[in-house]
Chains A and B, each alone.
Chain A
Amino acid sequence: MTRTIENESRRRFLKGTAGLTLAVYFPWAMAKSPDAGQVQASVFEPNAFLRIAEDNSVTVVAKHLEMGQGSYTGLATIVAEELDAAWSQVRVESAPADASRYNNLKWGPSQGTGGSSAIANSWEQLRKAGASARAMLVAAAAQRWQVPAQEIVVADGVLRHPASGKEASFGQLASAAAEQPVPEQVSLKEPHDFKLIGQPLHRKDSAAKINGTAVYTQDIHLPDMLTAIVAHPPRFGAVVASFDATQALAVNGVVEVVQIPTGVAVLARDTWSAKRGRDALSVQWNESAAFSLGSKQIFDQFRKLAESPGAVARQEGNADTALAGAKQVLEAEYDFPYLAHAAMEPMNCVIRLTADGCEAWFGAQMQTYNQGLLATLFGLKPEQVRINTLYAGGSFGRRASKDGDYILETAHIVKAIGGRAPVKLVWLREDDMQAGNYRPMFHHRLRAGLDPQGKLVAWQHRLVGQSVVAGSPFAGAIKNGIDPTSVEGAVNLPYVIPNMLVDLHTVSDIAVPVQWWRAVGSTHTAFSTECFIDELAQAAGHDPVAWRLSMLQAQPRHAAVLKLAAKKAGWNTPLPKGKEGERRGRGVAVHEAFGSYVAQVAEVTVQTDGRYRVDRVVCAVDCGIAVNPDVIRAQVEGSVGFALSAAMSEAITFTGGKVDQSNFHNYPPLRIADMPRVEVHIMPSTTAPTGIGEPPVPPLAPAVVNALAAATHTRIRRLPIGNQLAS
């Protein structure tokens, strides 16, 4: 069974064909990647997303960044499915920056990766791309063999005409297919006909990442390139007053020292010389307008704001009246710290000016926005800025810099030296950790009322924090004083509660730059809502799973993952006892983010001295059709570890305006010994796929903290957990 759809992108496909090949190859990277093989002449390029060469290779052009989330593998699977290619013949390369062909269909006229949208926005687009190419190959075979097209079958990259016994590979038909018209209509498969989608196909980036040949920004080396390390101000808002470069310039290998808007850059022939040069540099800072608060002062300010009403984000019934009439009223406050993304590869970027424009290499996450920033700075047209998107050594949102910080810093250095050499900007770990663009601090205050039957009748949720969207390309999303990413997960609380009020204070006078961090608003809203629901369940004497389910009757997907996680975790059977003196507990949370639904059950063991470990996390996810179930499992496992890391120990704090943390000794990431066992259960689905890179992050912290409460009767309301259980 297939269904026929209009190929409305036909004209764009045709228009997009010319000139693509030149724009996407950068030969040194190809030479270093064994996956990529030899560069072949492109003979069949039916659209902007794939190319079939005479060597029988199918190259899928990925418009999204590969930062670990498996986008290259997932995007290639979708194309290969409708093309009926063999997985072994498929390889992936990154698309150039081009909003006309490679925009994120969920973002509008902008190319970028975020909001767990890579697979979701590409789903129809890439299926059509694959199906169009398949139809052209079939038409070419029909013409060559003089047989009806409908008698041709395609499987594993081979076209066959069973009656005559004729067959040909994609490669053998590539040049003939290129002569065929792009079809007006294409047929897409029904899910039950999928051969590759739904299979645990191996990742396309594994081989290069295990033998060291994968190319990250840090690995770029261009002729005459200089490496730059920048002395940044000690506080946000401080500026250079003066500097003395004498000692820096005396360091062997240091070539030049230049002032730029964000500090003073030391340029050297290699990284170590640049670092030694910066160490030797003397800079006087003007800190008269610098940020000077400490974390406690910021929290005090937030708490004071929480005493008055904010901008209303959701209102139903009358929460005040209902609270006044409730039999039992509970109240809780939750505090969240700033968080650093701390990707393993600190931010970096390579830029060179060329005869006709500029070329940049980095793990670009918002390509066309970055293209525009660079074009403006250099006085170029966007199309004169060529961006080579490389593998990112992690991002978690950081590479999608909302102000282009690390990218523009590189460009300013190039400009300061008159563009005479390519520049690689290297942020050392300390630069990366202290550069800001953090997950914002937040304060939440919740009140809820239960009626005499223990039914939840009133809910008030007040949030205080900075807006991540303000000052970003998405600032237009702010409506009536509400940044939707501040309240996501709170305004769409899935439980049926007759009287609700959610309001928000957006703090705008704190100079700490904030940004999206894997799962954005849900990183705090899932915690406060799912912990508070748990407290209410306990207060009303309800089972936490059964009570949630009783309020999820209109939310079948939430309910389904919650039931599945509870069942697989053995929720209704007692948790095995720990050793003498150990207390054990089990906790649950369910949350929807970016259209995907995740429930988690965490099991913990707490020692008499308050040390604890998370033993096991059982996860159930519904992200629509599972394009690659193994990549989904990997994202869930990794999200559990990433979220647990933050929940246990991560915090960026301030003293007198200075960031207290600098490297992994005082911003401790999760290590292998603290990684729990993770079980992942994927709901079968025929719904179009949604994302999985972020949605498994939010439920982890509340599930763990609810489990700790079950074990110890102590409710933790301030993250990170740290040693709050120590007696």
Chain B
Amino acid sequence: MITLNINDQEMRVDVAADTPLLWVLRDTLQLTGTRFGCGMALCGACTVHMDGQPVRACSTPVSAAAGAKILTIEGVGQGTTGKAVQNAWQHLDVVQCGYCQSGQIMSAVALLKNNPKPTDADIDQAMGGNVCRCATYVRIRAAIHDAAKSLA
């Protein structure tokens, strides 16, 4: 049994220690908002926060997540920054297919928590690990700036 803290809730899971956190979230805990895209930490669709830092759940063994505070898309809206980012996303209608957007939002929230007034270059740097095949990048950039303004 491994004990996890996910979105401020203690959860016990009976899985092999090397199981990626992604599949524990999705298959064991039915927290399906964290998406599977590549399995190699190349696309960012599975981004969650571990003690406030964005990590790729597909390449994080669940054993490494034990004892850490995990935040997923299901819980991110409870926080001020998360809510602001989601509001900006909705206001600008950033999404198209939407599949990558949980990960985009998690990366954007992590960026704004560390850097409340990011430049375009800061955004390119922080969001470079998140692929959007619909190429909603123009609006992702605009929504991050909008969220930053709303939090200022």
The CA of A393 and the CA of B104, in the complex, are separated in Å by 14
B34, B43, B89: the one contacting A206 at CB < 8 Å is B89
User: Residues 128-139 of chain B: 1 if any A CB is under 8 Å from the residue's CB, otherwise 0?
Assistant: 101111111111
User: Residues 408-451 of chain A: 1 if any B CB is under 8 Å from the residue's CB, otherwise 0?
Assistant: 00000000000000000010110000000000000000000000
User: Residues 596-638 of chain A: 1 if any B CB is under 8 Å from the residue's CB, otherwise 0?
Assistant: 0000000000000000000000000000000000110011011
Q: A210-B105, A272-B27, A428-B39 are known contacts. Are A344 and B100 too (CB-CB below 8 A)?
A: yes
Q: A205-B98, A642-B133, A642-B135 are known contacts. Are A270 and B124 too (CB-CB below 8 A)?
A: no
Nearest-Cβ distance from residue A585 to partner chain B, whole angstroms = 22
A202 at the B interface (CB under 8 A) = yes
A594 at the B interface (CB under 8 A) = no
Nearest-Cβ distance from residue A676 to partner chain B, whole angstroms = 9
The CA of A342 and the CA of B37, in the complex, are separated in Å by 10
The CA of A670 and the CA of B42, in the complex, are separated in Å by 12
What B residues does A344 contact at CB under 8 A?
Answer: 35, 37, 43, 45, 97, 99-100, 131-134
What A residues does B23 contact at CB under 8 A?
Answer: 270-272
Establish whether residues A272 and B133, one from each chain, have CB atoms under 8 Å apart when the complex forms.
no
Nearest-Cβ distance from residue A272 to partner chain B, whole angstroms = 4
Establish whether residues A393 and B127, one from each chain, have CB atoms under 8 Å apart when the complex forms.
no
A219 at the B interface (CB under 8 A) = yes
Q: A637-B135, A673-B124, A677-B138 are known contacts. Are A70 and B34 too (CB-CB below 8 A)?
A: no
User: Residues 51-65 of chain B: 1 if any A CB is under 8 Å from the residue's CB, otherwise 0?
Assistant: 000000000000000
Closest B residue to A272 by beta carbon equals B23
Establish whether residues B42 and A665, one from each chain, have CB atoms under 8 Å apart when the complex forms.
yes
Establish whether residues A211 and B96, one from each chain, have CB atoms under 8 Å apart when the complex forms.
no
The CA of A219 and the CA of B98, in the complex, are separated in Å by 13
A205, A212, A270, A669: the one contacting B133 at CB < 8 Å is A669
Establish whether residues B102 and A640, one from each chain, have CB atoms under 8 Å apart when the complex forms.
no
> Most A CB atoms within 10 A — which of B38, B73, B135, B138?
B135
Nearest-Cβ distance from residue A392 to partner chain B, whole angstroms = 6
Closest A residue to B45 by beta carbon equals A344
The CA of A68 and the CA of B99, in the complex, are separated in Å by 9
Closest B residue to A630 by beta carbon equals B93
Chain A contacts with B in 305-356, Cβ cutoff 8 A: 342-346
Chain A contacts with B in 256-277, Cβ cutoff 8 A: 270-272
What B residues does A495 contact at CB under 8 A?
Answer: none
A202, A346, A664: the one contacting B90 at CB < 8 Å is A202
B81 at the A interface (CB under 8 A) = no
Chain B contacts with A in 96-120, Cβ cutoff 8 A: 96-102, 105
The CA of A396 and the CA of B132, in the complex, are separated in Å by 13
B151 at the A interface (CB under 8 A) = no
B9 at the A interface (CB under 8 A) = no
A206, A392, A664: the one contacting B38 at CB < 8 Å is A664
B90, B105, B136: the one contacting A638 at CB < 8 Å is B136
A303 at the B interface (CB under 8 A) = no
B150 at the A interface (CB under 8 A) = no
Establish whether residues B96 and A675, one from each chain, have CB atoms under 8 Å apart when the complex forms.
no
A250 at the B interface (CB under 8 A) = no
> Most A CB atoms within 10 A — which of B43, B89, B98?
B98
B27, B96, B124: the one contacting A271 at CB < 8 Å is B27
What B residues does A12 contact at CB under 8 A?
Answer: none
A199 at the B interface (CB under 8 A) = no
The CA of A221 and the CA of B26, in the complex, are separated in Å by 10
B11 at the A interface (CB under 8 A) = no
Establish whether residues B136 and A637, one from each chain, have CB atoms under 8 Å apart when the complex forms.
yes
User: Residues 264-292 of chain A: 1 if any B CB is under 8 Å from the residue's CB, otherwise 0?
Assistant: 00000011100000000000000000000
What A residues does B86 contact at CB under 8 A?
Answer: 210-211
Q: A429-B39, A672-B128 are known contacts. Are A634 and B136 too (CB-CB below 8 A)?
A: yes
The CA of A396 and the CA of B97, in the complex, are separated in Å by 10
The CA of A641 and the CA of B132, in the complex, are separated in Å by 9
Closest B residue to A645 by beta carbon equals B135
What B residues does A559 contact at CB under 8 A?
Answer: none
Chain B contacts with A in 1-56, Cβ cutoff 8 A: 16, 19-20, 23, 26-28, 30-40, 42-43, 45
What A residues does B93 contact at CB under 8 A?
Answer: 202-203, 206, 630-631, 634
What B residues does A678 contact at CB under 8 A?
Answer: 138
Q: A270-B27, A672-B123 are known contacts. Are A207 and B134 too (CB-CB below 8 A)?
A: no
> Most A CB atoms within 10 A — which of B23, B137, B139?
B137
A216 at the B interface (CB under 8 A) = yes
Establish whether residues B95 and A210, one from each chain, have CB atoms under 8 Å apart when the complex forms.
yes
Nearest-Cβ distance from residue B87 to partner chain A, whole angstroms = 9
What A residues does B20 contact at CB under 8 A?
Answer: 272
Task: Please name 19 further chain A to chain B contacts, defined as beta carbons within 8 Å, in addition to the given A272-B23, A426-B36, A672-B123, sorted by A numbering.
Answer: A68-B95, A68-B134, A203-B95, A205-B98, A206-B94, A207-B90, A211-B77, A213-B33, A218-B35, A271-B23, A272-B19, A272-B27, A343-B99, A344-B99, A394-B133, A638-B134, A663-B42, A664-B42, A671-B128
The 7 A-B residue pairs with the shortest CB-CB distance, nearest first, are A212-B33, A641-B135, A393-B99, A209-B98, A68-B97, A68-B96, A212-B73
